[in-house]
Structure 1
Amino acid sequence: LATFFAIAATGASSSPDLQWLLELKAGFQADPLNATGDWIPPDRHRNGSTSSSDPCSWSGISCSDHARVTAINLTSTSLTGSISSSAIAHLDKLELLDLSNNSFSGPMPSQLPASLRSLRLNENSLTGPLPASIANATLLTELLVYSNLLSGSIPSEIGRLSTLQVLRAGDNLFSGPIPDSIAGLHSLQILGLANCELSGGIPRGIGQLVALESLMLHYNNLSGGIPPEVTQCRQLTVLGLSENRLTGPIPRGISDLAALQTLSIFNNSLSGSVPEEVGQCRQLVYLNLQGNDLTGQLPDSLAKLAALETLDLSENSISGPIPDWIGSLASLENLALSMNQLSGEIPSSIGGLARLEQLFLGSNRLSGEIPGEIGECRSLQRLDLSSNRLTGTIPASIGRLSMLTDLVLQSNSLTGSIPEEIGSCKNLAVLALYENQLNGSIPASIGSLEQLDELYLYRNKLSGNIPASIGSCSKLTLLDLSENLLDGAIPSSIGGLGALTFLHLRRNRLSGSIPAPMARCAKMRKLDLAENSLSGAIPQDLTSAMADLEMLLLYQNNLTGAVPESIASCCHNLTTINLSDNLLGGKIPPLLGSSGALQVLDLTDNGIGGNIPPSLGISSTLWRLRLGGNKIEGLIPAELGNITALSFVDLSFNRLAGAIPSILASCKNLTHIKLNGNRLQGRIPEEIGGLKQLGELDLSQNELIGEIPGSIISGCPKISTLKLAENRLSGRIPAALGILQSLQFLELQGNDLEGQIPASIGNCGLLLEVNLSRNSLQGGIPRELGKLQNLQTSLDLSFNRLNGSIPPELGMLSKLEVLNLSSNAISGTIPESLANNMISLLSLNLSSNNLSGPVPSGPVFDRMTQSSFSNNRDLCSESLSSSDPGSTTSSGSRPPHRKKHRIVLIASLVCSLVALVTLGSAIYILVFYKRDRGRIRLAASTKFYKDHRLFPMLSRQLTFSDLMQATDSLSDLNIIGSGGFGTVYKAILPSGEVLAVKKVDVAGDGDPTQDKSFLREVSTLGKIRHRHLVRLVGFCSHKGVNLLVYDYMPNGSLFDRLHGSACTEKNNAGVLDWESRHRIAVGIAEGIAYLHHDCAPRIVHRDIKSNNVLLDSRDEPHLGDFGLAKIIDSSSSSHTLSVFAGSYGYIAPEYAYTMRASEKTDIYSFGVVLMELVTGKLPVDPTFPDGVDIVSWVRLRISQKASVDDLIDPLLQKVSRTERLEMLLVLKAALMCTSSSLGDRPSMREVVDKLKQV
């Protein structure tokens, strides 16, 4: 008000604009640069100010000849506050208002003078809408409001500004569409609406803006196609439509934009090919179409773009070769073609790109060698050829690239050594050569790379010592040499790497001690030396100096001594400590965990003693605590109950005593509790029942007493493993057991439990194993056990006091492999259902009961021995084979069986029971001793085969001659299959039983060492039992002929059923429906998961394919040929590597350069089988283009957004919507399995879970 009255007092002597300028200034809150310091009212001027009262002389003000304000320019003066709308409106001669690059807030001026020509309010913090009244400033030629916080829609009235030449309103919060009225801006030369939230399509009326030179609409949500009318803007030099949702093709009329210099449409969903017409835009300097769905090949017309400096077509589906003409683009500085489907070799002409600074060709299908001519690209700074199929060596000419900063060649099939010349790349900062087949030693010249920041050489075959010169790379922050064949000691020169934050030397053959100078790496955050042969103590100074250390991984070494105290006292940022599988002793440092940052502590399988330090309770973030397999004693500290994040606790197999602290149940996130194998006493705390997330509770092998708390049953709904075996528990099994719907493993054996088995157990439908043996359970066997359709590993109720009969419902357990009801008081007859329906049963023990009547005959019981039924006085049978390991009863020889049967019948009439047994034994010995002389039996004379338990399926002995007779001397007419491991014959025994006999060739026959190795491997395979693995019944060898005997699968292979091979045995099984295919997928996955996770040692199949998936009479899948690669590999050096690499179309890409099979290569092959099941296509289908396999075909079709019907097998008829969704989910799992990155492939257990969730 004082300012207003001061202005009024001056009367007519003042400029007519002075009042409004002072009003404008009044809205300014801060003027740190004193930009308007001379804007002083006249009254202050009379009081001695040296400033003029004439506003035309004020800073930032320009006037006309008539002393009227025509321009206000206060740009970049750090002003804050608001802009007075009324003040601006009254400056009726104002032509330029520039308040840009300040910090003004509030709304834009809603009233503008009609005289205004240029409005620059950009780079402030203005809010609110763009006022529609702006259209009243009809003389506007420039409107700059970009980089503010303006919101709302762009007013359609803006189209009335017919003289507007520049409109830049990007980098705001606008929403809604671009108004069609924009077509009225006929004078517009620059239109910038980038980086807003604009939606809808690009108005076709833009084509009417014939003077338009720059169109920038990138970083919005625009959709639809690029309107062809855009190409009518013949003056366009910049077309920026990137980061939108545009679809459809690039308009072919693009050739009309002869002046175009920048074409940027990256990160949209454009389809089709790159049009040849782009080559007509001869002025193009920048062409970026990255991140679309473009297909086809690189058009030859691009060779005409002589001015082109940047060509980025990465992240599309462009195929074909890189053309030779690429080398003619002499101006090219940046070439990015990565993440496409380019194939063929890298053209040598690329050496002609003398100005090239960046070359990105990664993640394609390029093959051949890296051309040596690449060394001629002397300006090259970044080179990425990663994730291709490149072979050969790294050219020494790379050493000539003196400006190179990034060399990224990982995930190829490069061989040979790392060239010494690489040390000449003095500016190299990133060197990534991992996941290749590089061998030889690491060159000492790497020490010359003084600018090196990151060095990745992991997953190669590098050998020799780590060069001491590596300590000269003083700027190195990341060093990963893991998973090689490096040996020797870790060089002490690594201590010179003061900037090192990440050192990863895991899984090599390093020996010696951890060098003490490594302690000088004071910035270390992750230290991983695991899975080597390091010895000696962990240096105290190592951890005391590494104050920033977050992860310490030293597991699986031979380290001795105690865990350093400094780990606890100095490394306050440690989140992960894994020192498991060493030879450490001493005690756990008492202050470990006191920092509160610890998340994972794993000290399992050492010799650590002492007590568990209570300080661990301070680690509120600790979620994984593993101290199992040590000598820790004392009590479980109650302080562990303070660890709110604790999820996994394993204190098993120690010497812990006392009670389980009930406060442990305060850790509400606990999912696994393993306290087994200790000396714990007292009762199981009721409070454990409050752990809603608990999935595993293992308290077995302790001295616990009392009853099983009912709260565990009622309060732990997610529990899947409940192991309370080998304690002194009493009372009854809780009747509510059946509410545990997630229960898979129940082990309560070796206690004093009594009462009946609760019938509710039948509701635990996911149970895989039940062991209630060696208790005092009474009553009958509940028929509800028959509802446990997933029961697989075993059902053991032995050594109890059970009575009553065997419920026929047990026969419904078709997946069960071991059933033990021995040593009870069970009576009655054996139900027929057990003999006929329990098709997976491998071991049966009904001995020592009161069973009576005949033993049922059937395919299941026919392979059991007499010991399965012994000590049942009223039980009778004439068809069971002897349990004597030395017996030679042959189910393949009917006449002796009939003779024995006949004599038994006669003896039963004339002799007492004793005489009968004596006579039967005499005849048995006489007949089979004569038959056995001079022949090779299935259970051979080696110690490996005397024990029938190696081959649970083998309840009779077959001779070599039996098998030759059953296969017509291995006649070609009996061949039912062949492969890299041998030929398979159908064998029909005289009894009518059908087996499959595989003849394998093993070199070194007669060599005791080779024979022993071969027999040991076969014996191991003979013990492997899973319902989805083809069972190895036995082995026979005679004069160099080696026969493996398997169960016969009548419905042939999955390959036959999917692809119509003639080898289907005329089973007329028909086309597999989707339900069957899904069941087969789950079954195969479960079989592979068993090999990968449950066998010791783990087994890698190496040749998973649909031909090795065999189907039984119910189309249940069984995976064959598991373990054979290892058998033949260990016995023969004459086989080619292709025998073990897998089959064409199924081989994981990394095998080509690693030549090493792993679980991950199996998972890739299984992913291919999944794709076969869904699509019905062959792995390399004749309908695919050259060089395309099923994996790339599926990825391409999905990227092209093909319909589901285009992907699924056309033989699948009447597929429901639900089934289509299931197929897509299975394809999603298949894509994960076939990921080019090993780390992205799931484990087989994860795959099983995903398929079961479909």
Structure 2
Amino acid sequence: MNLKSVFGEEEEAVFDSWNWNNSVCEFKGITCDDEVLVVKEIDLSHQNLCNNNNDIPFDSICELQYLEKLSLGFNRLQGSVSHHLNNCSRLTYLDLGNNLFQGPMPPISSLTRLLYLYVNNTGFSSSFPWASLETMEELVVLSLGDNPLLDQTPHFPQQILKLTNLTWLYMSNCSIQGHIPPAIGQLTRLVNFEISSNYITGQIPTQISNLLNLWQLELFDNNLTGTLPVGLRNLTNLQFFDVSMNNLQGDLSEIKFLTQLKSLQMFENHLTGEFPPEIGDFKYLVNLSLYRNHLTGTLPPHLGSYSDFNYIDVSENFLTGQIPPNMCNNNNMTELLILDNNFTGAIPPAYADCKTLSRFRVSNNMLSGVVPDGIWGLPAAEIIDIANNDLQGTIPSHMIQNAAKTLAQIYAANNRLSGQLPPEISKATSLNTIDLSHNQFSGKLPATIGDLKHLDSLHLDSNMFTGEIPASLGSCVSLSDINMANNAFSGSIPTSLGRLPTLNSLNLSSNQLRGEIPGSLSSLRLSLLDLSHNKLGGAIPESLSIQAYNGSFAGNPGLCSQKVKYFRPCSSDSSGVLVTCLSVGSAAGLFLLAYLCYIKRKSGKHEEDEAWNVKSFHVLSFMEDEIIDSIKEENLIGKGGSGQVYRVSLKNGMDLAVKHMTNTEESVWQKSNRRRRRRRSCVAEFEAEVETLSSIRHVNVVKLYCSITRQEQEQESRLLVYEYLANGSLWDRLHDPSKKKLGGLDWITRYEIAVGAAKGLEYLHHGCERAVIHRDVKSSNILLDEHLKPRIADFGLAKIGQTTTTASCTHVIAGTHGYIAPEYGYTYKVNEKSDVYSFGVVLMELVTGKKPIDEVEYGENKDIVYWVCSKLKNKESVLSLVDSSIDDAYKEETIKVLKIAITCTSSLPTLRPTMRAVVKMLEEAEPCKFISSISNKDKV
């Protein structure tokens, strides 16, 4: 009963049987010896238990003299584990894994009878007591993974090599360094050996072939070199084999003998040679991932024919031949990814009936023939990617209307597809990307396209579309990128396009558009505008007559302008002409004067000033000198780990934010990198990432205009020029008293900020060619424009997913205390789920108005996630979490978002949703905007 008292009211159901009316042996989770009725086992695992601020009474537990099993795994237990655990000397089974403990690993030296030890993913912060293993000779299972326990372990622990009874060894995500010792071959009873996501170097020892009982071998995400060891073929019981993300070379000849394999993962290595045809005969293989290697040859035609094949990813190799036709025989296949190879022939018709396919990606090959109609109607499809082949066919209306509500992206550019775009495409309501460019589509663009409310990018360029651009396109409120160039569109440019709040790029060039340029386009914030080579007439709107759009109107002889010099001036009455002439003359004089001053100024600069290098990522309306001259103390608006930020006000009235970085500042940032010897490669990688980030076009991601760099002797300065956001950061508006005076954020505004920021992260994770992982999502990196619309900012720590990055760069300690996912704080491994956790913390900030870290409110070493967890007792305590400044009418509405936040901050990454799922959940939680007004009417 002492144990029951440490848990909250929400766990009462677990302990319903724990009352004085029952014998202890009748308590749930308690097992007794049938003869003497003494407690032998306590198993409370997987009960979602949370002990709040109460310590687990291990001293009382260990007074049970006959206790042999103590299992508390997979809960939310916190606090420290006392030394009293050493008194449980009869234990043969101890499971504390998958909890949230703090403090040092408890002493276990007296637990000499242990057979099973699970302390994986516990949260303990000290090194593991390796010497204790010397007294545990009978240990069968040792599970230490996903912990900071081994952070001080420079080499593979030698004590493990003496545990010859081990069948299960899990040591992934533990920062172990050094080689896998040849003596590993002595542990011949091993069934499972996992040492992934560490710093292991050297070759896989040949002695590993002695482990004939191995069922699973996981070595991925290390720095292994060399070839697959000779003798690997002896592991004929192996079912799961993963050596991905290493530097392995050589061929797959040893693999062809492992006929029991169910999962083969070897992606991101340097493997060569032909794909072994024997793998096609594997009867149990369901998962095959070999992407980003240098493999040649063909895939065997019967690959995947014998099993419930699930997915294949052999992208980015040099494979040839045809696509194996029968991998979806049992209709269980979810992903077919063979992009960037040299496959030929047609798409096998069988995949048109593969109802489970979510990702069909065959782009960048040499496929030909007609696309099977059913591909366009796959009910589970999220991505259909057939771009850059020689495929023919149409998009049949009877199939696309059956497309799943989940279909998000269509990539079909650079083929020979034809026919009309059917009106039924509007049924695929989740579409965010359509790229049909460089095909032979014709006919009119259906007006129903306006029903695609999530459409972000529409590329129809270089086809044969005719007719008018439908005005309904202005209803696609999420559109940021439109390219309809090189078609035969006629009629006028719809004024509705000017009402698209997120439009960033508009290319309607080389068509037959007539009429005037709509003045509504002046309200857009476009980084690219191209209306050239049409039949437009009339005056160019004054706000579009700027240097940034030079060339945007060429090839339209009917246009006129008072500002753009290569167009005829617009006609007006004589007085207007006189005023215009005077204005033009004055402007020309001012321009000449400014130009002479500029030349003089340039001639007087030192030679080193000539060394500035500008890389522009958008059309620029400013010179680098204007930026450089503004980098001074009075313009400083912020400092961060990756540089100083300045506000630059240009002469044209535009404001910019400029981040200044030097090698000195970067060195400070990189001191957190435990592999400093690879700093140069990290810096080079940063340059590559900036290039990738510069291509991002999304309304909820801050716009990077250009980079300006200069190399001077040993020091390099970098300037990153971003758009300036007038309302600062979300942190300021939530937590800075001086900024909160500008006006609090009501719930509707907070909700819209949450959705916008989520869409920005969704784009980074799912909308780019390779996922962009931000790694420092927090409220201070969510900036707000003049309309309080959010932008994800500060990509100084961002990583491009699944790239061949240097391992040390991947392991940089990044992020901000209070936002860092628990597993990331000690494994240094990063993926999209780390961003999801951080975003969940931001959602908690929006709901509660609290900061992520507040020792007065939450307690020492506690954070907002812990605090929220501790309040989930009943409805009243949950409602008490909501920020008091939020209107009472919305309090119930906010709980929907709080539930999403709790899901995002699950301690186990696998339980967190993707950002795409987060966006959908948030949209389903949309508050009724009329609640407050209705409430007020009732009061009246």
State TM-score, norm by structure 2.
0.81
SS of the residue 1:359 aligns to = strand
Aligned twin of 2:489: 777
Q: Deviations over 1:267-310 (max 9, x none)?
A: 9xxxxxxxxxxxxxx9973685837999xxxxxxxxxxxxxxxx
441, 448, 456: which one pairs with 2:194? 456
921, 924, 935: which one pairs with 2:605? 935
Are 2:62 and 2:84, in contact at CA under 8 Å, matched by a contact in 1?
A: yes
> 1:1126–1:635: structure 2 CA closer, same or farther, 3 Å change rule?
closer
CA drift at 1:756? 1.9
SS of the residue 1:511 aligns to = coil
Structural mapping, 1:272-351, within 5 Å: 285=39, 290=44, 317=52, 319-320=54-55, 330-339=65-74, 342-343=77-78, 346-351=81-86
Structural mapping, 1:212-251, within 5 Å: none
Aligned twin of 2:147: 412
Aligned twin of 1:963: 630
CA drift at 1:1042? 5.9
Structural mapping, 1:1057-1136, within 5 Å: 1057-1062=733-738, 1064=739, 1068-1094=741-767, 1099-1123=772-796
> 1:962–1:905: structure 2 CA closer, same or farther, 3 Å change rule?
farther
Following the alignment from structure 1 to structure 2, what is the Cα–Cα distance between the partners of residues 1118 and 672? 26
Q: Does 1:950 align with 2:617?
A: yes
CA drift at 1:646? 5.8
> 1:586–1:703: structure 2 CA closer, same or farther, 3 Å change rule?
closer
Following the alignment from structure 2 to structure 1, what is the Cα–Cα distance between the partners of residues 417 and 76? 63
Q: Deviations over 1:759-803 (max 9, x none)?
A: 34344445443322212222212233345445x343321111211
509, 514, 517: which one pairs with 1:806? 517
Q: Which amino acid aligns with 2:559?
A: L
Q: Deviations over 1:1152-1208 (max 9, x none)?
A: 322344443333222212211111111112211222211111122225665342111
523, 538, 558: which one pairs with 2:294? 558
Aligned twin of 1:440: 178
Following the alignment from structure 1 to structure 2, what is the Cα–Cα distance between the partners of residues 1107 and 775? 44
SS of the residue 1:533 aligns to = coil
Q: Deviations over 1:1104-1163 (max 9, x none)?
A: 322233333322223332126789xxxxx9x99999522221222223322344443333
Aligned twin of 2:204: 466
CA drift at 1:624? 4.5
Are 1:318 and 1:342, in contact at CA under 8 Å, matched by a contact in 2?
A: no
Q: Deviations over 1:971-1014 (max 9, x none)?
A: 5xx65333323344455567776554544342399999999888
Are 1:322 and 1:343, in contact at CA under 8 Å, matched by a contact in 2?
A: no
Are 1:380 and 1:401, in contact at CA under 8 Å, matched by a contact in 2?
A: yes
Aligned twin of 2:27: 264
Higher mean alpha-carbon deviation, 580-589 vs 527-536, is at 580-589
Q: Does 1:1245 align with 2:940?
A: no
> 1:1056–1:533: structure 2 CA closer, same or farther, 3 Å change rule?
same
SS of the residue 2:534 aligns to = coil
Are 1:936 and 1:960, in contact at CA under 8 Å, matched by a contact in 2?
A: no
Q: Does 1:538 align with 2:275?
A: yes
> 1:439–1:730: structure 2 CA closer, same or farther, 3 Å change rule?
same
CA drift at 1:401? 1.2
Are 1:1031 and 1:1047, in contact at CA under 8 Å, matched by a contact in 2?
A: yes
> 1:716–1:429: structure 2 CA closer, same or farther, 3 Å change rule?
closer
CA drift at 1:411? 1.6
Q: Which amino acid aligns with 1:702?
A: N
Following the alignment from structure 1 to structure 2, what is the Cα–Cα distance between the partners of residues 666 and 1162? 33
> 1:475–1:941: structure 2 CA closer, same or farther, 3 Å change rule?
same
Following the alignment from structure 2 to structure 1, what is the Cα–Cα distance between the partners of residues 797 and 603? 31
With a CA cutoff of 8 Å and minimum separation of 6, indicate the structure with the bigger relative contact order: 2
Are 2:636 and 2:646, in contact at CA under 8 Å, matched by a contact in 1?
A: yes
Following the alignment from structure 2 to structure 1, what is the Cα–Cα distance between the partners of residues 375 and 617? 44
Structural mapping, 1:897-916, within 5 Å: 905=582, 908=585
Q: Does 1:1056 align with 2:732?
A: yes
Are 2:480 and 2:698, in contact at CA under 8 Å, matched by a contact in 1?
A: no
Following the alignment from structure 1 to structure 2, what is the Cα–Cα distance between the partners of residues 675 and 1113? 40
1186, 1189, 1202: which one pairs with 2:863? 1189
Q: Does 1:981 align with 2:694?
A: no
Aligned twin of 1:829: 539
Following the alignment from structure 2 to structure 1, what is the Cα–Cα distance between the partners of residues 882 and 818? 19
Q: Does 1:1198 align with 2:872?
A: yes
Following the alignment from structure 1 to structure 2, what is the Cα–Cα distance between the partners of residues 666 and 337? 47
Following the alignment from structure 1 to structure 2, what is the Cα–Cα distance between the partners of residues 989 and 317? 54
Are 2:50 and 2:76, in contact at CA under 8 Å, matched by a contact in 1?
A: no
Following the alignment from structure 1 to structure 2, what is the Cα–Cα distance between the partners of residues 669 and 1020? 30
546, 569, 573: which one pairs with 1:874? 569
Q: Which amino acid aligns with 1:493?
A: G
Following the alignment from structure 1 to structure 2, what is the Cα–Cα distance between the partners of residues 1101 and 1088? 8
Are 1:243 and 1:265, in contact at CA under 8 Å, matched by a contact in 2?
A: no
SS of the residue 1:561 aligns to = coil
Following the alignment from structure 1 to structure 2, what is the Cα–Cα distance between the partners of residues 937 and 1018? 27
Count of residue pairs the alignment pairs up: 875
> 1:957–1:380: structure 2 CA closer, same or farther, 3 Å change rule?
closer
Are 1:1051 and 1:1069, in contact at CA under 8 Å, matched by a contact in 2?
A: no
CA drift at 1:1073? 0.9
What's the C-alpha RMSD, in Å, of the aligned pairs? 4.5
CA drift at 1:930? 0.3
Q: Which amino acid aligns with 2:734?
A: L
Q: Which amino acid aligns with 1:514?
A: L
Aligned twin of 1:865: none
> 1:1237–1:773: structure 2 CA closer, same or farther, 3 Å change rule?
same
Following the alignment from structure 2 to structure 1, what is the Cα–Cα distance between the partners of residues 691 and 315? 32
Following the alignment from structure 2 to structure 1, what is the Cα–Cα distance between the partners of residues 215 and 177? 24
> 1:446–1:289: structure 2 CA closer, same or farther, 3 Å change rule?
closer
Aligned twin of 1:757: 469
Q: Which amino acid aligns with 2:264?
A: L
Q: Does 1:727 align with 2:400?
A: no
Following the alignment from structure 1 to structure 2, what is the Cα–Cα distance between the partners of residues 1099 and 843? 32
Following the alignment from structure 2 to structure 1, what is the Cα–Cα distance between the partners of residues 288 and 780? 45
Unpaired runs of at least 5, structure 2 = 1-8, 31-35, 572-578, 668-678, 801-805, 926-940
Aligned twin of 2:320: 585
542, 553, 568: which one pairs with 1:846? 553
Larger radius of gyration: 1
Aligned twin of 1:913: none
Following the alignment from structure 2 to structure 1, what is the Cα–Cα distance between the partners of residues 798 and 433? 35
Following the alignment from structure 2 to structure 1, what is the Cα–Cα distance between the partners of residues 859 and 680? 51
Q: Deviations over 1:904-936 (max 9, x none)?
A: 949949xxxxxx97x888655432110222437
CA drift at 1:475? 2.3
Are 1:400 and 1:425, in contact at CA under 8 Å, matched by a contact in 2?
A: no
CA drift at 1:722? 4.1
Unpaired runs of at least 5, structure 1 = 1-224, 227-241, 268-281, 295-313, 600-617, 856-868, 877-901, 910-915, 1128-1132
Following the alignment from structure 1 to structure 2, what is the Cα–Cα distance between the partners of residues 262 and 1005? 62
Q: Identity of paired residues, percent?
A: 34
CA drift at 1:376? 2.8
Q: Does 1:1227 align with 2:891?
A: no
> 1:1123–1:1096: structure 2 CA closer, same or farther, 3 Å change rule?
farther
> 1:1247–1:813: structure 2 CA closer, same or farther, 3 Å change rule?
farther
Following the alignment from structure 2 to structure 1, what is the Cα–Cα distance between the partners of residues 82 and 54? 15
Q: Does 1:549 align with 2:285?
A: yes
> 1:1085–1:844: structure 2 CA closer, same or farther, 3 Å change rule?
farther
Q: Deviations over 1:1197-1245 (max 9, x none)?
A: 2256653421111222x232xx334422322332233222233333333
